[in-house]
Amino acid sequence: MSLSRWRERGLAALIGALSVFTYAPFQIGGVSLGWLAPLPLAWLFARGLVTQPVTRWQLTTVSWWYGVGAFVAGVHWISVSLSVFGGMPAWMADTGTVLFAMYLALFPMLAGFAASCLRSKQRWLDVVVFAMIWVLSECLRGWLFTGFPWLAVGFSQTDTVLVGFIPVGGVLLASFAVALVAGLFALAWLKKSLKPVVYIALIYVAGAGLSIIQWTSPMKAPPLTVSLLQGNIPQDLKWNPEFARQSLDTYLLQLQASKGQLKVLPETALPLFYQRAKTDIPDFLAQVKAIASVPRQGVLMGTPEMGRTWDEYYNSAVLIQGKDVDQWYRKAHLVPLGEYLPLKPLTSWLLKVLNIPLGDMSSGSAYQSPIQFGSYRLAVNICYEDVFGTELIQSAKQANVMINMSNLAWFGKTIALDQHLQIARVRAIENGRPMIRATNTGATAIIDANGKLLSALPYFESSILEGQIQGMEGETPYQRLGGDRWIYLLILVLIGRYWWLRRA
């Protein structure tokens, strides 16, 4: 293989890695770099728009290398969880992370291959087709083998006018807009023409127009005051029985000091089964219940929950409110190899290698009714679940407020915290609902229904975020469409395109 080919692949990996700077937390002078998101893709698309000498194999491999660079840079924090907290040797954790990135890069590679198959001499049409294919590759990545939609291009647009497309068609419609702009940029460069720039301007004008529409409206109830607790419990001590009392005392002091009507603790803030806590630490639960017994007060707490049999247990959240019956939410979308084991018993040995407590959980129901708190209905999701937008729609439609409870201490002081916060902002925009987040180490935050970050705590500090939120009602177009169903239309169009090229 020629040296020039390796240089091209190295350049593709570098440009893919640079694309990560278009996501949170990166800014210049307080301005989001999400505006630059089309440029890395424009380079990749330009390779496909050149009929010669780029072959199908070259476009496919360049797309794979682009993906490798993007995902190694974008999810490098996985190695922290594997090595620092999972007990793996550093070399093994780094190797595993790179292998995972190489797997994720198969989806851009598939997009490159499909684009090469549908490429024609009609470059204007190819731009639209390439954008469709890119979005379909992101959609497939978010679904196959339970999915990993992290770093979908649309997530980068929370602070650009293209955010206006998100409540209409979700994050994937924003991805389509970015990909379309990227293709038009590539076309403008290749044809040395300003005509594509006119269409780029129209896309941004459309996004700006959509972004000023308020799709949902405030509910009649007064704003809800909330206290979001951030314990900053070290991950290496969180499940240590000798440290449990200190961890619980941290949260108890915060509960006693908090002023909000709804007090929210992070995921698994209670580091033992709720049912066993009644006998093992009855004094702690008694004090929590006393706090929650004050009129119009409640405590929403993350806790492991025992099921009906010895091997059935859940990652859950429980609302404790006076003498009312406890209300529960059970996490439905579990993390593979973190919360459940696929392909058992072949993977059972990984529990010992990764040193992950409660690593083989059961899933809650796919659709669970919101938790009722006074006149407010709360749609709870736990940690990784808010990455999957379509799965949140049903509960969010019935609720006034969305709540995410997380523990990202697994990933240390990395960009994972900022990326997850950006994803939460997108979920708020899609559903036209405020999102509040209570996390162990960050990002504990209050987000309004337009995805605006109202307030947040510093990372890795033990503190309380006090604030208020206005519940919302009504539906966004994204909710009415049922999520990403418009993707099926793209599939039909591309099938028609393939059939047409086969006949030509």
Check 238, 263, 305, 331 and give the catalytic one: 331
Q: Strand 327-330 to strand 313-320: parallel, antiparallel, or no bridges (unpaired)?
A: antiparallel
CA atoms 243, 244, 245, 251: torsion sign: positive
Residue-wise pLDDT tens digits, 440-482: 998 999 999 999 999 999 999 999 999 999 999 999 999 999 9
Check 383, 385, 391, 430 and give the catalytic one: 383
| CA 456/CA 443 separation, integer angstroms | 7
| CA 495/CA 201 separation, integer angstroms | 29
Mean pLDDT for all residues in the chain: 92
> Tokens representing 308?
């009906």
Residue-wise pLDDT tens digits, 339-394: 776 666 555 556 555 556 666 788 999 899 999 999 999 999 999 899 999 999 99
Check residues 110 and 355 and name the one with the higher pLDDT: 110
Residue-wise pLDDT tens digits, 200-239: 999 999 999 999 999 999 999 999 999 999 999 988 788 8
Domains in the chain, start-ordered, CATH in brackets? 3-215+483-503 (no CATH), 218-475 (3.60.110.10)
129 pLDDT band (50/70/90 cuts)?
very high
Question: Is 383 labeled as catalytic in the residue annotation?
Answer: yes
Question: Is 139 labeled as catalytic in the residue annotation?
Answer: no
Least confident window among 81-85, 206-210, 379-383, 483-487: 81-85
- In this structure, the chain runs to a length of 504
Check 138, 267, 339, 385 and give the catalytic one: 267
Query: Is the Cβ–Cβ distance between 258 and 464 less than 8 Å?
Result: yes
Q: What percentage of the chain has pLDDT greater than the value 70?
A: 94
| CA 456/CA 228 separation, integer angstroms | 10
User: What are the start-end ranges of the H helices in 152-310?
Assistant: 166-191, 195-211, 235-238, 244-257, 274-280, 282-292
Mean pLDDT of 142-154: 94
Query: Is the Cβ–Cβ distance between 469 and 415 less than 8 Å?
Result: no
> Tokens representing 197?
């720039």
| CA 356/CA 360 separation, integer angstroms | 9
Question: Is 117 labeled as catalytic in the residue annotation?
Answer: no
